[in-house]
Amino acid sequence: MDEAKILDLIKEALNDVAPGREADFAKVTLTSTIEDLGLDSIATMEMVGYLEEQVDATFPDEDLAKVSSIMDLTALVRASQT
Amino acid sequence: MNQTPFSTVAEAVAHVADHWPENGYTFQDDAGVETFYPFGQIELDTAQRAGAMQAMGLKKGDRIGLVIIEPEQFVLTFLAALRVGIIPVPLYPPLSMGNLDAYAQRTTNILRNANARVLIASGRLQNLLWSQVDAVPSLDRLVKADDLLAQDAPTFPDIKPDDIAFLQYTSGSTSEPKGVIVTHDNLVANANGVMGGHSVGIDPDKDLGVSWLPLYHDMGLIGFVISPILWGMQVVFMPTMRFIKRPGSWMDTITKHKATTSFAPNFAYALLAKKAKPAMLDRWDLSHMRLFGCGAEPINPATMRAFTEVMSTRCGMSRNALMPAYGMAEATLAIALKPVADHMRTNLVKAELFQQEGKADPIDEGYQGQVLEHVSCGPCFPLHQVRVRAEDGRLLPEGQEGELCLKGPSVTPGYFENPKATAAAFQDGWLRTGDLGYVLDGEVYVTGRIKDLVILNGRNLHPQSIEWEVAQVEGVRKGNVVAFSRPGAASEELVIVLESRATKTEADRLALRQNVQKQVLRKMSVNPADIVIVDVGMLPKTSSGKLQRRKTRQQYLTHGVGHEGSRTAGSSASTVTLARHMAKGVWSRTKAALRK
């Protein structure tokens, strides 16, 4: 899966977790930070759960703890696909 | 069974298999794969780990930090320490994304306060925690939880009922953490109160618990690790993140094991509702569930009713299963529970009279005014007492709101090496809870809070910690920030009110709000529900210039803090209309599914 596809998937996950904020999430890019998303810790992990289901993987907790940008998250998704 | 046959948790771990050899704990991994440990195996494994701790030079009374993600590793390590009198300090693992610095600082402060000698952590967290050894002077080493393998059997010291079992660091601010002392006596008394025949009436031959609750928090640790081992009850443990990522896995696990008991904060019931799909409701069988406990944060009656409606109609759950509970770390865990056989009970009172005079006067037929709905948490356990006091210390009559004060064998002897905080927490031998409420017909109703605390998704946050972070944002007038909570359907919500000179235009205000939001997310992993910017001098202060948090909150809730179109009404308890409206949003998807 290439980066653009993963980014689309992340946006899909965001819209699932926080419906009604499509306009905000449309602006998300690879360089956006996790804080830019404006989600609390529970909603952030819900979003991760959605991603995991779509790509059929479980991201290790210790790797998630180190994620600070959308780029990092994208790398995690890619790593799970190899 | 009205009381545990054991006088300490150490004795229980050693001998529980003599009484219930078939029972034990089941641990799920991240993928849901299960491993069963009969109690006899837990006895052997904890002895080996205890031996490994002693081989490191640890002895009775020493403190160790525990940062362990895997329930299996956590439970075995924690119980091993208790068997030899080593005092564990459970800490939460770095669970969320993007705030490692703040996490490390909080961990350091707690380990320093406890003077911990060793930090035991999951193998996969080692490189995130190395820096603690340098940051905490008392800390000798960092050890992997799965490396605790001893060659020699441990020497079991005499563990007395009034010995400290462990320390709970859920209270206190980030900069000044406070460790609640929990003794074996406290744990035995609380287990008897929760599990005994006069309340839940746990039968170890029939009952089985399921828990995804974090094990560094009293509800997960005392409710599902300690009380069940004192009682011989079976438990299935799920990793917390498995539930948060896939909430349906909670009900799947209950269905699979024909479980009878589980507990969670209010937010979890709302989250489950949001994620439940028709196919899930079709496969869940909750007919064995005797109780779904609810505590650790304010209980929203509408959310609870909606959960009961859907789960009883679709999944065969008993309509009496939801069990509101009241308690706190300083009272070990719980102190009052709804009786098992009863419906969840609420008290509808006249809002104006309650808000002005604190008098809980039930509405009568034909009453037209605003109504507040308060949830009953049931009567206090036997041997425990609750009373309600006014600010001046006067005892208040039934139905009158005041500070809830507790007494009984579950109440902590105090905070660890902190006589000042301990003295402040007690008055004439009664624990001052800092919670507001009243007692009516012997049942406890919790209505609000005197202490400054924000409870988000079951997590206690000190407003000072949040305010300090917000004050770092450019444009915020230093020392003029107030953080507090407002009621919500899933959990409490965070509101921040701040003074600023720098904002002239609406665009300035929008930018400042965004910066404040980012700062709070980065430092605290919390998303503020509302950020209000007011002019200089608008925040209520005392004559000596001290900010008044409670007054600001009151003004906010009644639309008074320079705020247009405030979305919230009511006092600390939400009004019935508001609660219904909010729960409607949460449950709309599930209900739509129900109609199909």
- Best to test chain B binding among A32, A37, A41 (most B CBs inside 10 Å): A41
Q: Collect all residues of chain B within an 8 Å Cβ-Cβ radius of residue A45.
A: 95-96, 241, 244-245
- How many CA atoms are closer than 13 Å to the CA of B130, on its beta-carbon side? 4
Phi then psi for B536, rounded to 5 degrees?
Answer: -55, 130
Q: Bridge partners of B548?
A: none
Q: Collect all residues of chain B within an 8 Å Cβ-Cβ radius of residue A66.
A: 100, 128
Tokens of B128: 């995130």
The helix (run of H) or strand (run of E) holding residue B240 is helix B240-245
End-to-end CA distance of chain A: 10
B271 with A42: Cβ contact below 8 A: yes
What is the three-class DSSP state of A25? helix
Calculated CA dihedral for residues B298, B304, B305, B309, nearest 10 degrees:
180
> Whole-angstrom Cα distance, residue B90 to residue B116?
11
Query: Which pLDDT does position B592 carry in this prediction?
Result: 53
Chain B residue whose CA is closest to A69: B98
Q: Is B149 exposed, middle or buried (0-12, 13-18, 19+ CB in 10 A)?
A: exposed
Q: Bridge partners of B449?
A: B435
- Best to test chain A binding among B238, B242, B245, B514 (most A CBs inside 10 Å): B245
Which DSSP symbol is given to B442? T
Interacting residues of B415 by C-beta distance below 8 A, sequence separation 6+: B171, B172, B178, B179, B180, B181, B421, B422, B425
- Best to test chain B binding among A10, A40, A80 (most B CBs inside 10 Å): A40
Domains of chain B, CATH where assigned: 9-245 (3.40.50.12780), 258-451 (3.40.50.12780), 454-565 (3.30.300.30)
Give the strand pairing for B63-67 and B118-121: parallel
Q: For A39-70, what is each residue's pLDDT tens digit?
A: 888 899 999 999 999 999 999 888 888 898 99
Complete edge-to-edge strand list for the sheet that includes strand B63-67: B87-90, B63-67, B118-121, B141-144
B527 with A52: Cβ contact below 8 A: no
Q: Collect all residues of chain B within an 8 Å Cβ-Cβ radius of residue A58.
A: 30-31
A62 with B97: Cβ contact below 8 A: no
Quote the distance between the C-alpha of residue B573 and its chain's center: 19
Cross-chain CB nearest to B98 (options A35, A48, A49): A35
Cross-chain CB nearest to A68 (options B69, B98, B246): B98
Is the ipTM here above 0.95? no
Q: Collect all residues of chain B within an 8 Å Cβ-Cβ radius of residue A38.
A: 517, 521, 527
> Whole-angstrom Cα distance, residue B199 to residue B188?
15
A60 with B128: Cβ contact below 8 A: no
On whether the CB atoms of residues B270 and B490 are closer than 8 A, the answer is yes
CA of B1 to nearest chain A CA: how many angstroms apart? 38
Tens of pLDDT along chain B (596 residues)? Answer: 899 999 999 999 999 999 999 999 999 998 899 999 999 999 999 999 999 999 999 999 999 999 999 999 999 999 999 999 999 999 988 866 667 888 898 899 999 999 999 999 999 999 999 999 999 999 999 999 999 987 789 999 999 999 999 999 976 677 789 999 999 999 999 999 999 988 899 999 999 999 999 999 999 999 999 999 999 999 999 999 999 999 999 999 999 999 999 999 999 999 998 889 999 999 999 999 999 999 988 899 999 999 999 999 999 999 999 999 999 999 999 999 999 999 999 999 999 899 889 999 999 988 998 899 999 999 999 999 999 999 899 999 999 999 999 999 999 999 999 999 999 999 999 999 999 999 999 999 999 888 888 888 888 888 888 998 899 999 999 889 999 999 888 888 999 999 998 888 999 999 999 999 988 988 888 899 999 999 888 898 887 778 888 889 988 988 777 543 333 333 333 333 333 344 444 455 455 555 54
CA of B410 to nearest chain A CA: how many angstroms apart? 31
Cross-chain CB nearest to A68 (options B93, B97, B124): B97
A48 with B30: Cβ contact below 8 A: no
For chains A and B, count residue pairs whose Cβ atoms are closer than 8 Å: 82
Which DSSP symbol is given to B329? G
B267 with A42: Cβ contact below 8 A: yes
> Whole-angstrom Cα distance, residue B215 to residue B74?
8
Q: Is the dihedral of CA B559, B561, B566, B568 positive or negative?
A: negative
Query: Which pLDDT does position B179 carry in this prediction?
Result: 95
Amino acid at A65: A
Chain B residue whose CA is closest to A65: B97
Q: Is B181 exposed, middle or buried (0-12, 13-18, 19+ CB in 10 A)?
A: buried
Dump the DSSP string for B93-119: ---SSS-HHHHHHHHHHHHHHHT-SEE
Quote the distance between the C-alpha of residue B226 and its chain's center: 16
Q: Collect all residues of chain B within an 8 Å Cβ-Cβ radius of residue A53.
A: 246
B100 with A39: Cβ contact below 8 A: no
> Whole-angstrom Cα distance, residue B429 to residue B388?
14
Cross-chain CB nearest to A65 (options B100, B271, B517): B100
CATH, domain range A3-80: 1.10.1200.10
B97 with A46: Cβ contact below 8 A: no
Distances, alpha carbon B419 to alpha carbons A64, B73, B406, B424, B451, in Å: 39, 34, 19, 9, 19
Interacting residues of B531 by C-beta distance below 8 A, sequence separation 6+: B495, B496, B497, B498, B513, B516, B517
Task: Give me the residue label for tokens 């794969």.
Answer: B33
Phi then psi for B386, rounded to 5 degrees?
Answer: -125, 140
CA of B381 to nearest chain A CA: how many angstroms apart? 33
A65 with B517: Cβ contact below 8 A: no
B521 with A61: Cβ contact below 8 A: no
Q: Bridge partners of B400?
A: B359
Answer left, alpha or beta for residue B27, where phi above 0 means left and psi between -120 and 50 means alpha. Answer: beta
Chain B residue whose CA is closest to A18: B274
The helix (run of H) or strand (run of E) holding residue B377 is strand B371-379
Chain A residue whose CA is closest to B526: A40
> Whole-angstrom Cα distance, residue B40 to residue B165?
21
Amino acid at A37: L
Distances, alpha carbon B372 to alpha carbons B199, B470, B560, in Å: 28, 33, 20
Distances, alpha carbon B155 to alpha carbons B47, B54, B59, B80, B562, in Å: 9, 8, 10, 12, 65
A58 with B30: Cβ contact below 8 A: yes
> Whole-angstrom Cα distance, residue B288 to residue B38?
22
